[in-house]
Structure formats: structure tokens, C-alpha cells
Amino acid sequence: MIFDTHAHYYDTAFDPDRDALLSALPRRGVALVVCPGCDLESSQESVALAERYDYLYAAAGIHPENLEGFAPEQLDRVKALCGHEKVRAVGEIGLDYYWVKTPEGRALSRRVFDAQLSLSEELNLPAIVHDRDAHRDCLDIVLSHPKARGVFHCYAGSLEDARVLLDRGWLLSFTGNITFHNARRAPEVVRWMPLDRLMLETDAPYMAPEPYRGQRCDSTLIAFTAAKAAQLKGLEVEEVLAATLENGKRFFAID
């Protein structure tokens, strides 16, 4: 059974068939899904979806690409959303230097990331971290929060940084990126890391694995990512799916 630990089912890509797709996922082998928000609106939409589908859980947070017009009071609203019984993480939060180019924008994103990690510590919730082209700053901020725990989603950092994160008790999650023909670092990290620290995700509707790269992704396609992880680790696919299901349940405190 599949645990998709990161899928954005409120995205407009699912507008034509969202209810039909989500209703069908359990009978297609999907046991659990976590849907993280990227701003206040999508965090609220994630909670609404979690209320409708028993197997779906939510996370609330503000993504570094969604900080235009940011006001500190927005963090109070994130905190309020995190009080919902089906919200199991603060996320998606972090840094993105690919899209956020200006020094002012990057400085703001660092402040908001730092504040949301503090919130995750206060609430004793794990953090779902986005890190794109900002590895050093992202790691430095995480290390400045010794009580924080979390996962780097769609991990694209180095093996050296992975060692540091796992030493601090963090987990790493991988999408279809490990199946891409040009993938280098992510497969190396998957091959090295202990199975009990690994999670799988789609980042749906994005990051579909080969041979569906570039198409709309949904949680069923984790089967291809799990097959690649199993190949890298010399395991059976069923072992990887079972382990990542249990890892996700433990991480998000889902019985």
C-alpha cells in the first residue's frame, strides 16, 4: 500500500476530475496521502479535502514563492490551521533561490522560514521543507533549530548534507526525480540512506516519474518511484512500499 507523503490535490490541474480521482485512490492501492498547503488559501483547501477523505491528511504553511504581501499576522492563521485534528505538519515551508532572486526577497524568505520552524517547535509538529538552490542557507536555518524535526521533500541536496540531516533525526523524501535519466545526487543518497529514514511522494501534479515525466502526476505513480528505490537498494518493491508506509505513519503520527 502506498503512502504519498506530499501531494497538492487542491491544484487546478485536478479541477476536471478531483473528486473522482480522490474517491478512487484507495481501491487503486493508495493507503494514505498528506496534502501540504503553500499559502493560507491552499492550506485551508488542504484541510477541507482532509475533512472529506478519511485517508487524506493536511499540512499548513507558507511556501517561499508565496510571500508577496506577507504580513506577520499570517503566521497566526497558519498556527490556527495547525490546530485542526487532521493537520499533521507545518508545510510546505523553506527556501527557493531558483524563483526568488532579489536579496530582499531572499532575506524575507529566510525570516519566514525561520519563524515557521519556530512554530513547528512550539506546536511539536514536523516541518515539510522545500529547498531549491538554497542548500547552505536552508541547512543553516534548520541547524539553528535543534528542537525542530522534519523532512526535506523532493530531496536534491548532497550526500554530505544528507548525512548531517539524518544525524539530526530528519527524514528525506523523494519524488519521481530519482527515476529521471539525468538524476545523479538523489539516487546516490537513496542508495546510501537507511530504509527507515526514507519517505516517498509525488509532489502531484508535478514530478511524475519515468515513463510519465512531464505528465500530470497522481499518487498511484509512486509505484514507479518505489521500484527505482528498490533497485537502488537491492530490495523488493514490496519491502520499500511497506517500509515507507510505516515511516510516514510514524513521522506524521497517524495510527
Which CATH number characterizes residue 182's domain? 3.20.20.140
Would you state the pLDDT for residue 172?
98
Sheet containing strand 30-36, edge to edge, reads 2-4, 30-36, 56-60, 87-96, 127-132, 150-152, 171-174, 198-200
The rounded percent of the chain whose pLDDT value lies above 90 is 99
Q: What is the pTM of this model?
A: 0.97
- Give the cell for residue 250: 510514524
pLDDT, tens digit, for every residue of 212-243? 999 999 999 999 999 999 999 999 999 999 99
Alpha helices in the chain (DSSP H): 18-24, 40-52, 73-81, 103-123, 135-143, 159-167, 185-192, 222-233, 237-251
How far is the first Cα of the chain from the last one, in angstroms, to the nearest whole number?
15
Mean pLDDT computed over every residue of the chain: 97
* Residue 243 lies in domain: 2-251
Would you state the pLDDT for residue 47?
98
User: How many CB atoms are closer than 10 A to CB 69?
Assistant: 6
- Give the cell for residue 182: 539525468
Would you state the pLDDT for residue 71?
96
pLDDT, tens digit, for every residue of 78-134? 999 999 999 999 999 999 999 999 999 999 999 999 999 999 999 999 999 999 999
User: What's the domain count of the chain?
Assistant: 1
CB 62 within 8 A of CB 104: no
Would you state the pLDDT for residue 87?
98
CB 2 within 8 A of CB 225: no
As a whole number of Å, the CA-based R_g of the chain is 17
pLDDT band at 198 (very low <50, low <70, confident <90, very high): very high
